């Protein structure tokens, strides 16, 4: 069992206890968001820091907000 700490831009995103360490370049899904592993660093025998790059979430404007602009 390995303690894996996932970081996004030097901010701790989530820590998990995993059976195997994820590989660099592999796709991963954490907290419902898709991401890609960019770097894996071994701290101890069973502690790893993993840098991830998550996909940007595109915000869609509400339909009601668009309708209000058209009425004016």
Q: What pTM was estimated for this model as a whole? A: 0.77
Q: What is the pLDDT of residues 14-69, one digit of tens each?
A: 999 999 999 999 999 999 999 999 999 999 999 999 999 999 888 877 776 556 66
Integer Cα distance of 57 and 36 in angstroms: 14
What pLDDT is stored for residue 60 in this prediction?
Answer: 78
In this structure, the strands spanning 33-42 and 47-54 are antiparallel
């Amino acid at each position: 069992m390995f303690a894996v700490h996932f970081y996004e831009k030097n901010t701790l995103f989530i820590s998990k206890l995993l059976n195997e360490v994820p590989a660099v370049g592999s796709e991963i899904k954490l907290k419902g968001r898709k991401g890609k592993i960019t770097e894996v660093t071994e701290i101890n025998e069973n502690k790893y820091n993993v840098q991830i790059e998550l996909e940007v979430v595109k915000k869609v404007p509400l339909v009601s907000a668009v309708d209000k602009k058209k009425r004016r």
